[in-house]
Amino acid sequence: MTTQQTAAQTVDAIVIGAGYGGIYAVHKMANELNLSVIGFDKAEGPGGTWYWNRYPGALSDTESHLYRYSFDRDMLKEDHWDHTYLTQPEILDYLEGVVDRFDLRKHFRFGTEVTSAVYLEDEQLWEITAGGDLYRARYVINGVGLLSAVNLPKIPGMEKFQGDILHTGAWPEEADMTGKRVGVVGSGSTGTQVVTALGPKAQHLTHFIRTPQYSVPVGKRPVSEQERAEVKQNFDAIWDQAKNSSVAFGFEESTVPALSVSEEERNRVYEEAWQRGGGFRFMFGTFGDIATDEDANETAAAFIRGKIHEIVKDPEKARKLTPHDLYARRPLCDDGFFETFNRDNVDVVALKETPFREITEDGVITEDGTLHELDVLIFATGFDAVDGNYRRMEIRGRNGIEINDHWEGQPSSYLGLSTSNFPNWFMILGPNGPFTNLPPSIETQVEWISDLVGYAEEHGIAAVEPTAEAVSDWTDTCTEIANMTVFTKVDSWIFGANVPGKKPSVLFYLGGLGNYRALLNEIADEGYRGFQLTGDLLKASA
């Protein structure tokens, strides 16, 4: 035994991450399974996404009553929300409250990054390096986040810029944009929120857009006491509906084909959804084939394009803001994004027409020779989604196989939960997990992992891992489903097609949460079909 190994602290379970996933996993391991557990997060506190993304305008696009945990009925009764959507500080408060309610802080080590996780076959333990120290555990649960590893593009001259360069996913709390000349790169969910929030504050704002996106109003409005009371009275039914639906956003997905109704009726349905608000509701609640049929998709796209031209008064700005490809990314919604461009101090640059040439001390020069003078350059350029944070650690399973080699072709898993050759190593929202409003998917996965760990503990099982065949079949299933949709036809983070050098591949199970949950139940009922449950702890320690 080496000196280092002697120094390792051994616990039953290690959880990485303190977002929705990690918090719930620590609660399950510590408070329900009575296991010893340490949770690590490189952040200085809990919150995950909502710890890091403190940029102005950060807002959930899931409605407030569904962007939370459902597992504790008493907590649901006590929960409070003022508006139909939650701001970043509200979500952070909520998650901190959950940590305190279940006395979880004592299990977490914040400001501590996990840099490696190596499986020790002889001991049937994982050895983790976190903050430079060694730990050992039988189980590792990764709640490292699917939109967490930031993507910061490299633009020539970036290092020369005399102003501030910020990424929305690592936003410093003290940053104040009042009266500044601000540039924002990126027009996804985050970019649209930042631009909407900063337009009225900045002296001048330039939005650099590479691909314009379809966005509908979010529909943020105050919630009355009576509305809240109604939700609380019906929360069993509300959660039951969400968890058994496809995208789990709290509405019935439509099954009506868009072209089966008259144009007048179609526009009435779109207008109603536009007025009500919500990106997922617009894409999945209006008609049943917008995400699967290109002609149906075009009807929704054309409606949104028409709205952009109605809202944005300057025809040149409207032209640059108007998308022409399929409406096939994570459906956006905003709180007045297009309206912001009616302000004289807000401009748009179409990067496909005039790409970046270089960044200088004073700002950004585009290929037409224009210098856009800036005090701050904000990158709302998204994330190395889903597998990004795994690839940034050294993770070695059986026979020393490294995760980057194991995932060389594409990141793969069984059920988005675990992968072959990595025993007792679980992922929350790993590759090919469900594509939904995420808290109910996170809860589903954490509960299932926790049941499996409980089962392993009860039966003295030393190692649980899926077979290579189960992983390969699940990858095929996810690919087949994805190929039935229009999402594969557009480059976005959903398929890992947003980061230079990353191999695009299917990263989600698009079959819906209801089907996913039914499958998980079936697999557990069949004695964890597709998993190898090996060894026996008594034998292992003999």
Q: Where do contacts with ligand FAD occur on this chain (CB under 6 A)?
A: 16-22, 40-43, 48-49, 51, 53, 58, 60-62, 67, 113-114, 143-145, 147-148, 190, 389, 393, 428-429, 437-438, 442
Nearest CA to 235 out of 75, 61, 86 is that of 75
Q: Which residues contact 135 (CB under 8 A, 6 or more apart)?
A: 8, 9, 10, 11, 14, 38, 127, 128, 129
Alpha helical stretches, state H, 341-496: 388-391, 403-406, 438-459, 468-483
Of 17, 47, 163, 191, the one binding ligand NA7 (CB under 6 A) is 191
Q: Does 498 bind ligand NA7 (CB under 6 A)?
A: yes
Give 130 or 386: the residue with its C-beta nearer to ligand NA7. Answer: 386
The span from the CA of 454 to the CA of 457, in Å, is: 5
Give the residue at shortest CB distance from ligand NA7: 188
Please state the closest distance from residue 52 (CB atom) to ligand FAD, in A: 6
CB-nearer residue toward ligand NA7: 38 or 147 = 147
Between 21 and 336, CB nearer to ligand FAD: 21
d(C-alpha 532, C-alpha 238), whole Å:
36
DSSP notation for 153-176: ---TTGGG-SSEEEEGGG--TT--
Choice from 45, 153, 257, 288 touching ligand NA7 (CB under 6 A)? 153
Crossing angle for the helix pair 88-101 and 20-27, to the nearest 10 degrees:
10
- The CB-of-158 to ligand FAD minimum distance in angstroms stands at 22
Of 115 and 515, the one with the shorter C-beta distance to ligand FAD is 115
Contacted by 197, from ligand FAD, ligand NA7, none: CB < 5 to 8 Å by type: none
| In the complex, minimum distance from the CB of residue 367 to ligand FAD, in angstroms, rounded to a whole number | 30
Q: Which stretch binds ligand NA7 (CB under 6 A): 269-277, 301-309, 379-387, 480-488?
A: 379-387
Q: Does 210 bind ligand NA7 (CB under 6 A)?
A: yes
Question: Considering only residues 382, 411, 433, 512, which one is a binding residue for ligand NA7 as defined by CB under 6 A?
Answer: 382
53 binds, among ligand NA7, ligand FAD, none (CB under 5 to 8 A by kind): ligand FAD
Minimum CB separation of residue 49 from ligand NA7 in Å reads: 8
In whole angstroms, how far apart are CA 308 and each of 74, 114, 299, 315, 319? 44, 45, 15, 10, 9
Please tell me the distance from the alpha carbon of residue 234 to that of residue 240, in angstroms, as a whole number. 10
Long-range Cβ contact pairs of 120-124 (< 8 A, separation 24 or more)? 121/398, 121/399, 124/423, 124/424, 124/462, 124/463, 124/535, 124/537, 124/540
To which H or E segment does residue 17 belong? Answer: none
What residues have CB less than 8 Å from 166, skipping those under 6 apart? 55, 172, 175, 376, 377, 378, 379
What distances in angstroms separate CA 270 from CA 273, 275, 319, 326, 331, one per listed residue? 5, 9, 22, 17, 14
Least CB distance from residue 131 to ligand FAD, whole Å? 9
Question: Which CB atom, from 357 or from 391, has the smaller least distance to ligand FAD?
Answer: 391
Listed residue (52, 346, 57, 94) closest to 218, CA to CA: 57
3-state secondary structure of 334: strand
Using CB under 6 A, count the residues that bind ligand NA7: 18
Nearest approach in angstroms of CB 406 to ligand FAD is 17
From the list ligand FAD, ligand NA7, none, partner contacted by residue 185 (C-beta under 5 to 8 A by kind): ligand NA7
Provide the minimum distance between the beta carbon of 202 and ligand FAD in the complex, in angstroms, as a whole number: 20
Q: Which of 17, 39, 186, 411 binds ligand NA7 (CB under 6 A)?
A: 186
Which of ligand FAD, ligand NA7, none does residue 205 bind to, with CB < 5 to 8 Å depending on kind?
A: none
CA–CA distance, 207 with 194 (Å, rounded to integer) = 10
Binding mask 339-358 for ligand NA7 (x = CB under 6 A): ------------x-------
CB of 247 to ligand NA7, least distance (A): 12
| Residue 404 · residue 412 · CB < 8 Å | no
**Cα dist from 23 to 11, 31, 143, 431, whole Å:** 17, 12, 9, 20
Is 297 an interacting residue with respect to ligand NA7 (CB under 6 A)?
Answer: no
Of 140, 185, 198, 481, which lies in the binding site for ligand NA7, with binding defined by CB under 6 A? 185
Q: Which does 428 bind (CB under 5 to 8 A by kind): ligand FAD, ligand NA7, none?
A: ligand FAD
| C-beta atoms surrounding 322 within 10 Å | 17
Using CB distances below 5 to 8 A depending on partner kind, what does residue 206 bind out of ligand FAD, ligand NA7, none? Answer: none
**Residue 359 pairs with which residues in a beta bridge?**
364
189 binds ligand NA7 (CB under 6 A): yes
The answer to whether residue 188 forms part of the interface with ligand NA7 (CB under 6 A) is: yes
Query: What length is written for the chain?
Result: 542
Stretch that binds ligand NA7, among 1-9, 179-187, 245-253, 402-410 (CB under 6 A): 179-187
Q: Decide whether 331 or 423 has the Cβ nearer to ligand NA7.
A: 331
Closest CA to 443 of 248, 274, 259: 248
- Side chain identity at 270, as an amino acid letter? Y
What are the residues binding ligand NA7 (CB under 6 A)? 147, 153, 185-191, 210-211, 330, 351, 380-382, 493, 498
